[in-house]
Copies of this chain bind each other. A is one copy, B any other.
Amino acid sequence: MQFTIQATDSGSRARTGLITTDHGLIETPIFMPVGTAGTVKAVHQRELTEDIKAEIILGNTYHLYLRPGLDVLSKAGGLHRFNGWDGPILTDSGGYQVYSLSGTRKIKEDGVTFKSHIDGSPHMFTPEGVIDIQRTIGADIIMAFDECTPYPCEYGYARESMAMTHRWLQRCIDRFDSTEGHYGYRQTLFPIVQGSTYKDLRQQSAEVIAGHNREGNAIGGLAVGEPAEEMYATIELVNNILPADKPRYLMGVGTPENILEGIALGVDMFDCVMPTRNARHGILFTTQGVINIKNEKWKDDFSPIDAELGGYASSFYTKAYLRHLIKSEEILASQIASLHNLTFYLWLVKQARHHILDGTFVSWKNQIVKKVMQRL
Q: Does A76 sit at the interface, judged by CB under 8 A?
A: yes
Residues 58-74 of A, flagged 1 when their CB comes within 8 A of B and 0 if not, give: 00000100011001100
Q: Does A3 sit at the interface, judged by CB under 8 A?
A: no
Residues 32-64 of A, flagged 1 when their CB comes within 8 A of B and 0 if not, give: 000001110111111000000000000000010
Residues from chain B with a CB closer than 8 A to the CB of A327 are 67-68
Q: Does A312 sit at the interface, judged by CB under 8 A?
A: yes
A41 to B, closest residue via Cβ: B331
- A84-B317, A330-B37 given as contacts; is B45 within 8 A of A324 (CB)? no
Q: Does A83 sit at the interface, judged by CB under 8 A?
A: yes
Q: Does A155 sit at the interface, judged by CB under 8 A?
A: no
Q: How far is the CA of A361 from the CA of B330 in the complex (A)?
A: 38
Q: Does A157 sit at the interface, judged by CB under 8 A?
A: no
Minimum CB–CB distance from A260 to chain B (whole Å) comes to 29
Q: How far is the CA of A334 from the CA of B44 in the complex (A)?
A: 11
Residues from chain B with a CB closer than 8 A to the CB of A67 are 324, 327-328
Q: Does A342 sit at the interface, judged by CB under 8 A?
A: no
Q: Does A300 sit at the interface, judged by CB under 8 A?
A: yes
Find residues 317-376 in chain A having any chain B CB closer than 8 Å to their own CB.
Answer: 317-318, 320-321, 323-325, 327-328, 330-332, 334-336
Q: Does A316 sit at the interface, judged by CB under 8 A?
A: yes
The interface centre, meaning the residue of A82, A324, A335 with most chain B CB atoms within 10 A of its CB, is: A324
A324 to B, closest residue via Cβ: B68
The interface centre, meaning the residue of A75, A317, A323, A328 with most chain B CB atoms within 10 A of its CB, is: A328
Find residues 290-322 in chain A having any chain B CB closer than 8 Å to their own CB.
Answer: 299-300, 302, 312, 316-318, 320-321
Q: How far is the CA of A316 from the CA of B83 in the complex (A)?
A: 9
Q: How far is the CA of A331 from the CA of B76 in the complex (A)?
A: 22
State whether B76 touches A325 (Cβ < 8 A). Answer: no
State whether A39 touches B330 (Cβ < 8 A). Answer: yes
Q: Does A167 sit at the interface, judged by CB under 8 A?
A: no
Minimum CB–CB distance from A252 to chain B (whole Å) comes to 21
Residues from chain B with a CB closer than 8 A to the CB of A316 are 45-46, 84
Q: How far is the CA of A316 from the CA of B68 in the complex (A)?
A: 19
Q: How far is the CA of A63 from the CA of B325 in the complex (A)?
A: 12
Q: Does A212 sit at the interface, judged by CB under 8 A?
A: no
Minimum CB–CB distance from A186 to chain B (whole Å) comes to 23
Q: How far is the CA of A185 from the CA of B187 in the complex (A)?
A: 60
State whether A76 touches B302 (Cβ < 8 A). Answer: yes
Minimum CB–CB distance from A275 to chain B (whole Å) comes to 15
Chain A positions within 8 Å of B, measured between CB atoms, are 37-39, 41-46, 63, 67-68, 71-72, 75-76, 81-84, 299-300, 302, 312, 316-318, 320-321, 323-325, 327-328, 330-332, 334-336
A–B complex contacts, Cβ < 8 Å, 15 sampled: A37-B328, A39-B325, A42-B331, A42-B332, A43-B332, A44-B332, A45-B317, A46-B316, A68-B320, A68-B324, A72-B324, A82-B302, A82-B320, A331-B331, A331-B334
Please name the 8 residue pairs, one residue from A and one from B, whose CB atoms are nearest each other, closest first. Answer: A68-B324, A42-B331, A39-B332, A37-B328, A75-B300, A39-B330, A72-B300, A67-B328
